[in-house]
Chains A and B, each alone.
Chain A
Amino acid sequence: DGGITQSPKYLFRKEGQNVTLSCEQNLNHDAMYWYRQDPGQGLRLIYYSQIVNDFQKGDIAEGYSVSREKKESFPLTVTSAQKNPTAFYLCASRPQGVGEQYFGPGTRLTVT
């Protein structure tokens, strides 16, 4: 059953702690993406990767870090430097860097 998974669905952390969000795909897609969505807003691009061992900053990369050691995995770390980390985080993938994106179910992060 092919798809893109994110875990956990809900995540709670204390301010000052780093937290890593998981994103895994078995679609054999080269490109993967992380977006942040705030209530009532659209998606803002955090980081993206078009190939293993390479990634680029999106529009709001400050306070976030990523790695792409395997084609299937693109974890996102929300660091303590991120001023307002509470948000809904969406991971997506697509075969190449253009066209339809396939989204995971999202992780809702709450930092208090």
Chain B
Amino acid sequence: SQQGEEDPQALSIQEGENATMNCSYKTSINNLQWYRQNSGRGLVHLILIRSNEREKHSGRLRVTLDTSKKSSSLLITASRAADTASYFCATDAGTNAGKSTFGDGTTLTVKP
């Protein structure tokens, strides 16, 4: 079964609005990563948050982590049409040293 599950599966917003997507996982983790994938391309790493961190920022991205609820959220502020992509979370769990587990992703469409 997937360690990470994203919610919602698809999100459509207007340019300038904020986009929030969520990730839930099942077991304890060392860290959680968010990636972006443009259609037909490889994944690009966005941000990593460690299990002892609660919030991280990078430009227009804000990631939160709640280990008690085993969940994370990715907020993209002031979205642009160029943010249209699929977004995936991945977890490095302490018991699975060496491998990450990816969720099924959220497809974000930002309309100009």
Contact = CB atoms under 8 A, between A and B. Distances in A.
Interface of A: 31, 33, 35, 41-45, 48, 50, 56, 58, 88, 90, 92, 97-106, 108
B99 A48 contact: yes
Contacts of B88: 42-43
Please tell me the size bucket of the interface on B.
Answer: 20 to 34
Contacts, number: 64
B98 A106 contact: no
* Candidate in B2, B42, B97, B99 with the most chain A CB atoms within 10 angstroms: B42
Contacts of B40: 88, 106, 108
A18 B48 CA distance: 37
Given A42-B103, A45-B99, A99 B92 contact: yes
* Candidate in A100, A102, A105 with the most chain B CB atoms within 10 angstroms: A100
A7 to B, nearest CB: 13
A104 B42 contact: yes
Contacts of A97: 97-99
A99 B97 CA distance: 11
B30 to A, nearest CB: 6
A98 B104 contact: no
